[in-house]
Amino acid sequence: MTGLVELGRLRHVEDYKSPARQRTILCYARRKLAPAPGRMNPPAEPPIVLKMVRSDLENLPEFPLPAGYRLRGYQRGDDELWQRIQTAADRLIQTKPALFAEQFGSDADLLRQRQLYLVENDGEVIGTGTAWFNDDFQGRRFGRIHWVALVPPCQGRGLGKPLISVLCRRLRELGHEQAYLSTSSARVPAIRLYRHFGFVPLIESETQAAVWRELGI
């Protein structure tokens, strides 16, 4: 797999490509995945958080919204709507009433700039994503693709690409030069989508390195 980057350096890491390093990582992965003695069907390893980065926001893939859909910005009162979308979209997420405020604060003007909602022509809101930011990621200011979600009936329709496309473009318009995101090792389709947009793995531990190699994405 290409495109590995290491915490604190944000560059391609050649030592992960060496045969000795690969043997070490693969052995570690086998130990993590191997069944314990006497156990025929071990429980699956729980998903772990993975981070991905894009070193610039130039030459972004462009995907227009299909006919029948539009995007709108945050409106006051969208907090509960956001919560419902996230809860419906992903059973891995444990939401709580305070989650929106914890993630985004309460600055409505800032949210109007950065938070988008995907709407069908009949007015039904079916998805959301936020072009957020972190002023101290790796000691630098990064844009962040944050909390992207589509309700289950609308997943698999190719709507993720135009939504990510608009979010990346919005980050660039707001002056960001780099971007990152967090995801779960269980969200393989999402990881493939992010790779299509030029995001590459950020390696922060041996466990993550082993997981990325097992994913093979």
pLDDT digits (tens, 9 = 90+) for 56-66: 999 999 999 99
- Average pLDDT of the residues of the chain: 85
- Measured CA to CA, the distance from residue 48 to residue 8 in angstroms comes to 20
For residue 109, what pLDDT is reported?
A: 97
Rounded to 5 degrees, φ, ψ at 21 are -65, -40
pLDDT digits (tens, 9 = 90+) for 19-73: 444 444 334 344 444 444 444 444 567 899 999 999 999 999 999 999 999 999 9
pLDDT digits (tens, 9 = 90+) for 112-125: 999 999 999 999 99
DSSP one-letter string for the chain: ----EETTT-SB-GGGGSHHHHHHHHHHHHHHHSPPTT-SSPPPPPP-EEEEEES--SS----PPPTTEEEEE--TTHHHHHHHHHHHH-TT----TTHHHHHHTT-HHHHHHHEEEEEETTS-EEEEEEEEEEEEETTEEEEEEEEEEE-GGGTTSS-HHHHHHHHHHHHHHTT-S-EEEEEETT-HHHHHHHHHTT-EEEE-SHHHHHHHHHHT-
pLDDT digits (tens, 9 = 90+) for 200-216: 999 999 999 999 999 99
Strand 69-73 with 115-120, pairing: antiparallel
- Measured CA to CA, the distance from residue 136 to residue 159 in angstroms comes to 31
Query: Which is nearest to 56 in space by CA: 16, 10, 2?
Result: 10
CB atoms within 10 A of CB 138: 16
Q: How far is CA 7 from CA 51, 138, 140, 190, in A?
A: 10, 8, 13, 22
For residue 95, what pLDDT is reported?
A: 82
pLDDT digits (tens, 9 = 90+) for 155-180: 999 999 999 999 999 999 999 999 99
pLDDT value at 87 more than 60: yes
**Taking the domains of the chain in order of start, what are their residue ranges?**
56-177
Rounded to 5 degrees, φ, ψ at 82 are -55, -45
pLDDT value at 90 more than 60: yes
8 Å CB contact between 183 and 191: yes
pLDDT value at 110 more than 50: yes
For residue 22, what pLDDT is reported?
A: 43
For residue 179, what pLDDT is reported?
A: 98
CATH 3.40.630.30 fits 56-177, yes or no: yes
For residue 117, what pLDDT is reported?
A: 98
For residue 5, what pLDDT is reported?
A: 54
Q: How far is CA 142 from CA 23, 172, 179, 210, in A?
A: 34, 11, 5, 26
